[in-house]
Structure 1
Amino acid sequence: MYLYTKAVHIIFVVCWMAGLFYMVRLFIYHTEARLKSKQEYDILHKQFMLMESKLWWIITTPAMYITIAAGLMMLFINPALLTTPWMQVKLAFVVGLVIYHFICQKFMAKLKAETLTWSSTKLRLWNELSTVLLFSIVFTVVLKSAVNWIFGVVGIVGLSIALMMAVKIYKKYRVSKEA
């Protein structure tokens, strides 16, 4: 039973993460749509609201709940896991990911109400946080260490810094191309 539950857990982690990654991309495009004419923006705004709502309520949020349920089931089947330091670290990162999820939900509501003030650049950087959390969780689980995950995270933080620099360079390139 444990391995079946673990398989379901992994499958829905993939679905949840795909939803989170794509959702923030939609937020970026939704935010950038404000630069269009009023008529174009009104059409795009309605379309983005529809896409975001379906992705959030049909895929991303159910996947989060199934991931959590399967994870809790694994802990119920093997409660000794809770005594291991690596599991405690993993669960802390999972709590961070759940908080990230609900902040994204607030962003979706603010975009719908047209009150989100974040720029597309800031949203691009926000998108990297879920990647850092995912790397932290995976390294912690695979290495089964409360400490060794740090090396993997240091690598992803380095990658994130490189990505942030690439985002800034791309933004400058887009601005210069539009001028």
Structure 2
Amino acid sequence: MLYLYAKALHIIFVITWMAGLFYMVRLFIYHTEARRRPAEVYQILHEEYIKNERLLWWIIATPSMYLAVAAGAVMLYINPAWLQAPWMHVKLMFVLGLIVYHFICQRIMYTLKGGGNKWTSIQLRLWNELATVLMFAIVFLVVLKNAVNWVYGVLGLILFSVMLMVAVKWYKKVRERT
């Protein structure tokens, strides 16, 4: 029964973690685009974005990450046989990638706070899609486990990534026309 509680908590905190990451990068995009405004308007927006980013990061995203990892660790402790499954090794690699993504976002947050961010809004839009790709990979691995043909899975992930990049580039062109 403890396993099922850990699983439920793991799912809940993964959802809140991903929501936090998705929204955080959206805030980065808006924060970056605010630089185009007049200085006095930018200063007001800058302070507001700093506050919203800090609250989202420290109240939702980061605690959710730690709680999702903790619940996942409890599940692996209760059922260590999962560690023998090859799909679990791949999943944990993707999860590690998501954790690295998380801390790169934290660095972007601090850089934006200091006013020295070098990322453009289009780069941040593409960066946001990386979390989507990682999430898709993790969910498909967990659901399909060994039923996944790795060649088709990798090709599908690459195709999905290319489609996301094309969509972001298309959106940029649409925005530039308006």
Please give the alpha-carbon distance, in whole angstroms, between the structure 2 residues aligned to 1:70 and 1:92. 17
Percent identical residues: 62
Please give the alpha-carbon distance, in whole angstroms, between the structure 2 residues aligned to 1:96 and 1:54. 24
Unaligned runs of 5+ residues in structure 2 are none
Is the CA contact 1:85–1:146 (under 8 Å) kept in the aligned structure 2? no
Corresponding residue for 1:22? 23
In the superposition, relative to structure 1, how do residues 137 and 146 fare at CA in structure 2: closer, same or farther (>3 Å)?
A: farther
Corresponding residue for 2:124? 123
Please give the alpha-carbon distance, in whole angstroms, between the structure 1 residues aligned to 2:47 and 2:147. 45
Which AA in structure 2 matches 1:35?
R
Which AA in structure 1 matches 2:163?
A
Deviations 1:16-72 (A, max 9, x none): 000001100100010000011101100100010011000000000000000000000
Corresponding residue for 1:167? 168
Secondary structure of the residue that 1:5 maps to in structure 2? helix
Number of corresponding residues: 177
Which AA in structure 2 matches 1:67?
A
Q: Which moved more, 1:126-135 or 1:163-172?
A: 163-172
Which AA in structure 1 matches 2:86?
P
Secondary structure of the residue that 2:129 maps to in structure 1? helix
TM-score, normalised via structure 1 length:
0.93
Please give the alpha-carbon distance, in whole angstroms, between the structure 2 residues aligned to 1:53 and 1:100. 17
Corresponding residue for 1:106? 107
1:88 aligns with 2:89: yes
Q: RMSD of aligned C-alpha atoms?
A: 1.6
Which AA in structure 1 matches 2:62?
T
Is the CA contact 2:20–2:60 (under 8 Å) kept in the aligned structure 1? yes
Name segments (4+ residues, structure 1) moved above 4 Å.
none
Secondary structure of the residue that 1:89 maps to in structure 2? helix
Secondary structure of the residue that 1:144 maps to in structure 2? helix
Please give the alpha-carbon distance, in whole angstroms, between the structure 1 residues aligned to 2:8 and 2:109. 30
